[in-house]
Copies of this chain bind each other. A is one copy, B any other.
Amino acid sequence: MTARNISRFWEWGRKIICVGRNYADHAKELKNAIPSEPVLFLKPPSAYVTEGFPILVPLYTNNLHHEVELGVVIGKAGTSIPQSDAMDHVAGYALCLDMTARDIQDECKSKGLPWTLAKAFNTSCPVSEFIPKERIRDPGNVRLWLKVNDQLRQSGCTAHMIFSIPYLISYISEVISLEEGDLILTGTPKGVSAVQEHDELQAGIEDVVSMRFKVARKDH
């Protein structure tokens, strides 16, 4: 194996830690309480998909939702990172989709089961190109948007996150050590909705990056 290149973190990074309900307007649209501490869940690295490859709808869902999120790519390992040092551990960012089988997630929630089938399936984590840290001066104040077939569905600003990026890095690393190449998904603003086979998703961070994915049905 050759030296690891952070701009291709999805090829070798070992974990994806996702934060749920980090925007009050999205928590409300799903009728969830505003959390008093971050809600964390995991996707495996096998969930990554990059542009040029389709998002595959799992056979078991009838309600696959998009959630556009700012991803934070870790550049320096750490455990129990203080908030004041947190940004030193960031190598950059990626625009990400937290693809969610909402019907399955609702079933898991009502049965007290883990969210794995709803959140961790293959292609559940589409990612943009890597965005070096310098290209986003203030990650706590950027606008994210997502369109389905040219219709705007999500448009939100990271200024409305309940828990800030430094807070999340500190909180997570207290429990789960962060390593180089890890990705943190920081939650989605309101406007999540279902996608179907043949849909085209476009998403962007204003003035920084945009990406495009087709939705396809998984072969039997």
Contact = CB atoms under 8 A, between A and B. Distances in A.
Interface string A96-138: 0000000000001110111111001110000000000000000
A147 interface: no
A4 interface: yes
Q: Which of the listed residues A3, A45, A113 has the most CB atoms from chain B within 10 Å of its own CB?
A: A113
B114 A46 contact: no
A179 interface: yes
A41 interface: yes
A39 interface: yes
A107 B122 CA distance: 29
| Copies of this polypeptide in the complex | 2
Given A1-B3, A14-B45, A177-B46, A115 B114 contact: yes
Contacts of A121: 175-176
A191 interface: no
Nearest to A122: B177
B44 A17 contact: yes
Interface residues of A, number: 36
A58 interface: yes
Contacts of A177: 46, 122
Contacts of A2: 1
A15 interface: yes
B112 A44 contact: no
Given A46-B176, A109-B113, 5 more contacts: A39-B114, A42-B116, A45-B179, A79-B122, A112-B112
Interface of A: 1-4, 14-15, 17, 20, 39-47, 58, 79, 108-110, 112-117, 120-122, 175-179
